[in-house]
Amino acid sequence: MFLDNPIAQAIILGVLQGLSEFLPISSSAHLILLPWLLGWKQMGLDFDVALHAGTLLSVLIYFREDLIRMFRAFLAWARDRLRRTREPQPPDPDASLALAVIVGTVPAVIVAGLFGDYIETNVRSPWVTVVTLSAFGVLLWIADRRGPQTRLLGQIRLPDALLIGAAQCIALVPGVSRSGITITAALLLGLRRADSARFSFLLAAPVVFLAALKAAFDLWQGYSPAAVSIGTFLTGIMVSTAAGFVCIKYFLRFLQRRTYLPFVVYRFLLACFILAWLLL
C-alpha cells in the first residue's frame, strides 16, 4: 500500500510538521496521533531531527532579512556596550527585537533542561492531549477576543518577552502547541494578531534549533544506526521546509483580516475525535 512506503510517510509527516509547528494546533499532538492511528512504526530519532531541521530552515529562509538585520544590530549594540566609547544608548528596534528573542528563549531552555526528559517519558499520552487541546483552545479564544491588540511588534519589551518565553515552557506538554501558547500570551499582552504570530515564529528559530541539536546529541550518544534511509531523511527535511515556509507566509496574510477562531474550533474537533476514538 502507498501509506506503507517510508517515503510516503516522510512526505505526510513532513507536511504535518511544517504546518502544525506554526499553526496554533500542536505539532507534537499531530505527530504522536497520526502514526498511532494508522499503526505506523516509529521512524526514529534521526527522522525527528530531520523534521525539526526542516522547520528551522523554513524560519531562516522566510525571515532571513529580519534575522540578518537583528543580528547586525545586536552585534553593534553589544560592541558599543562593551567598548563604552559613548554614553549608553537604548538599542534600536532591531537590536531590541533580538534581545527580546534571546530573553524569551531562556525560560524554555531552563525548563526543558530540568524537566524535559520527565515530560517526554510521563506526559505523552492521548488522554493528556485531549485535555490540553481543549483547555488551551479556550485560552486562545479568550485572548483573541479580549486582548487589546493595539501594540506593534517593535513595541515589545523585555518583560513581555520573558512572560511569553515562560508561557512557551508549557508547550513541552503535548497538545498545548508552542506557537499557540506564545501567540496567546502575546495577545494577552496587547500585541496585534499578525505581530503576535510573527514574534512567535521568530522565537521558534532558537527553540527549534536547540530541540534539533538535543535530538542530534541524543542520537549520537545512543550510537544507533539510522532508522530510515538517506532518501527518507532528506525527504522529511525538504517537505517540512517547504510546508513550513508556505504556512508562515499565508498564515501571516490570513491574520491581517481574520481571527484565530478557526484554529480554536479545529482544536475542539480534534479533541472530540481523539476522545471518541479512545472511548470506542
Three-state SS for 153-180 is HHHCCHHHHHHHHHHHHHHHCCCCCHHH
Phi, psi of 242 (to 5 degrees): -65, -45
Reported as a pLDDT band with limits 50, 70 and 90, residue 159 is very high
Percent of the chain having pLDDT more than 70? Answer: 93
| Cβ atoms 57, 237 nearer than 8 A | yes
pLDDT tens for 98-118 read 999 999 999 988 998 888 778
Residue 83 CA to residue 249 CA, distance in Å, equals 40
Whether pTM > 0.75 for this model: the answer is yes
Segments in the chain forming alpha helices (H) = 6-20, 27-38, 45-62, 64-83, 93-122, 126-146, 158-168, 178-188, 193-222, 230-254, 261-279
Task: Decide if pLDDT at 170 tops 80.
Answer: yes
Task: Decide if pLDDT at 38 tops 90.
Answer: no
What is the model's pLDDT at position 89? Answer: 62
Selected residue with higher pLDDT from 82 and 101: 101
Percent of the chain having pLDDT more than 90? Answer: 57
pLDDT tens for 262-275 read 999 999 999 999 89
pLDDT tens for 42-72 read 776 678 778 888 999 999 999 999 999 999 9
Contacts of 160 (CB under 8 A, 6+ apart): 100, 186, 189
